[in-house]
């Protein structure tokens, strides 16, 4: 079975919005799951309004680029589940689903009867993933928070940014919501593991995922650097805390990343640069020595690389197997020969919005030609379709619509 059909037959009820939850459910949809996204009747997912830029088509509400990035492959149904009739519809959907993904503040769904205990009572095989900022319990449970908050609170920004004493010194966040995205990936893994466990036990389970937990876990080697040494890492700009030289350097015509990960690579770099003396220097022969003497080494490498253009260095470093790379704006990224070869840029076709640009899920293999996958949905685009699957007729749907329970 192709990977893109691996979750065929799995039904996902998506009660999430913004990014972490939708990123998870988009992954699940890409793997073949049937994802029904429940949205607010009035506004839909918050990110529908997070623009510009917007994708527009005559006679249609605009779709924000932000919403497009994480909602392909889904069917949208607009339900106001603050109303009892709406909550009843969501319960009926949950009774038929394998997995519910939600990112409401802890305890919020209880007042609608949509908490895990209530849904499990009608569907014991249900798997529910609850994504919150701080988790389902603890002194900060229930407090709201966005990705940016957790990049700071979890420690990531404490060592990301310009070092003290340099121009513009201070902490910086990443250019994308990395904690949200990684939470979505952890949730994707958790869902698949829970489905596998359900095959053995026949039971569902409740998965509690907190952005704070994910943010702390993302510290990776920096966390263990601290736990081993007792010393909190400082901001190091573009330098690596454990490898050297491993950072951005200026060439004659622009910047490049030199990424030397072992002593043999450093020796080859010195040889191709015509500086065998650096490779023989006792201060720089080992990676530990290069880290200890990084300020002096950085000055030497900067002088070397400033003498030639970036592409000249690239050809020379490629010839001896030393890792390097350019810093490309996105127009160059999508024009890059390797990126084009990998067919990472996809085009989805929507019957009313036309062509919708997208990015291939890297889990899935490149597919030549036009993509026939399900595009991101308009708000409530599939409400009637999904409710008909529950057995609702036109008269009942009209009554729900007139009461603004659905849209």
Please, are residues 123 and 97 in contact by the beta-carbon 8 Å criterion? yes
Report which of residues 159 and 370 the model is more confident about. Answer: 159
- Kindly state the average pLDDT of the residues 351-370: 87
Cis before 193 (ω within 30)? no
How much of the chain, in percent, has pLDDT values that exceed 70? 99
Which pLDDT score, from 0 to 100, does residue 2 have? 85
**Taking all residues of the chain, what is their mean pLDDT, rounded to a whole number?**
96
Q: Which domains, ranges and CATH numbers included, belong to the chain? A: 3-217+343-403 (3.40.50.10540), 246-327 (3.30.1540.10)
- The torsion of the CA quartet 81, 83, 84, 90, rounded to 10 degrees, works out to -10
What secondary structure does DSSP assign to 343-384, as a single string?
Answer: T-EEEEEETTTEEEEEE--TTSPP--S---SPPPPPTTTTHH
Tell me phi and psi for residue 206, to 5 degrees.
-105, 125
Cα–Cα nearest to 188, from 363, 34, 27: 27
CA 210/CA 29 separation, integer angstroms: 22
Residue 35: pLDDT over 80 = yes
Helix ranges (DSSP H) in 230-370: 263-272, 276-280, 287-292, 294-305, 310-320, 330-333, 337-341
For residue 199, count other CB atoms closer than 10 A to its CB.
7
Please, are residues 74 and 44 in contact by the beta-carbon 8 Å criterion? no
CA 274/CA 320 separation, integer angstroms: 13
Residue 367: pLDDT over 80 = no
Which pLDDT score, from 0 to 100, does residue 370 have? 54
Please, are residues 211 and 144 in contact by the beta-carbon 8 Å criterion? no
The per-residue pLDDT for range 162-175, each reduced to its tens digit, is 999 898 899 999 99
Describe the strand order of the beta sheet including 324-326 as a list of residue ranges: 246-251, 254-259, 324-326
Q: Which two tokens stand for residue 23?
A: 């990123």
If you ran DSSP here, which 8-state letter would residue 109 be given? G
Which pLDDT score, from 0 to 100, does residue 214 have? 98
> Active-site residue numbers?
180
What are the angstrom distances between the C-alpha of 299 and each of 76, 250, 281, 296, 306?
56, 11, 15, 5, 11
The per-residue pLDDT for range 100-135, each reduced to its tens digit, is 999 999 999 999 999 999 999 999 999 999 999 999
CA 2/CA 363 separation, integer angstroms: 11
Which pLDDT score, from 0 to 100, does residue 160 have? 96
Find the range with the poorest average confidence among 13-17, 162-166, 290-294.
162-166
Confidence of residue 238 (pLDDT cuts 50, 70, 90): very high
The per-residue pLDDT for range 308-348, each reduced to its tens digit, is 999 999 999 999 999 999 999 999 999 999 999 999 999 99
CA 133/CA 142 separation, integer angstroms: 8
Confidence of residue 368 (pLDDT cuts 50, 70, 90): low
């Amino acid at each position: 079975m192709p990977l893109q059909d691996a979750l065929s037959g799995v039904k996902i009820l998506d009660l999430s919005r913004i990014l972490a939850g939708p990123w998870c459910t988009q992954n699940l949809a890409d793997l073949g799951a049937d994802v029904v996204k429940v949205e607010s009747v009035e506004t839909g997912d918050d990110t529908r309004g997070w623009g510009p830029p917007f994708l527009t088509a005559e006679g249609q509400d605009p779709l924000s680029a932000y919403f497009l990035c994480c909602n392909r492959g889904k069917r949208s149904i607009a339900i106001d589940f603050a109303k009892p009739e709406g909550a009843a519809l969501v319960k009926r959907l949950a009774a038929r689903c394998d997995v519910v993904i939600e990112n409401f503040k802890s305890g919020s769904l209880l007042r609608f009867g949509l908490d895990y205990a209530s849904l499990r009572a009608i569907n014991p095989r249900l798997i529910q993933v609850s994504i919150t900022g701080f988790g389902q319990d603890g002194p900060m449970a229930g407090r709201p928070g966005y990705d940016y908050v957790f990049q700071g609170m979890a420690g990531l920004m404490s060592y990301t940014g310009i070092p003290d004493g340099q121009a513009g010194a201070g902490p910086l966040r990443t250019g994308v919501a990395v904690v949200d995205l990684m939470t979505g990936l952890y949730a994707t893994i958790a869902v698949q593991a829970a489905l596998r466990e359900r095959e053995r036990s026949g039971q569902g389970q409740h998965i509690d995922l907190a952005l704070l937990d994910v943010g702390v876990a993302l510290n990776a080697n920096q966390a263990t650097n601290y736990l081993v040494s007792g010393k909190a890492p400082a901001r190091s700009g573009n330098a690596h805390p454990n490898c050297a030289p491993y950072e951005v350097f200026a060439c004659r015509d622009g910047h490049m990343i030199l990424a030397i990960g072992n002593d043999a690579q450093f020796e080859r770099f010195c040889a191709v640069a015509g500086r065998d003396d650096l490779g023989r220097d006792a201060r720089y022969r080992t990676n530990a020595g290069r880290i200890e003497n990084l300020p002096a080494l950085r000055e030497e490498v900067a002088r070397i690389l400033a003498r030639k253009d970036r592409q000249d260095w690239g050809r020379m470093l490629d010839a001896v197997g030393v890792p390097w790379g350019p810093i490309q704006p996105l127009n160059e990224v999508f024009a890059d020969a390797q990126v084009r070869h990998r067919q990472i840029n996809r085009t989805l076709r929507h019957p009313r919005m036309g062509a919708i640009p997208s990015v291939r899920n890297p889990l899935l293999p490149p597919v030549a030609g036009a993509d026939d996958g399900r595009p991101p949905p308009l708000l409530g685009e599939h409400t009637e379709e999904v409710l008909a699957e529950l057995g609702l007729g036109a008269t009942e749907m009209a009554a729900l619509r007139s009461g603004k329970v659905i849209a």
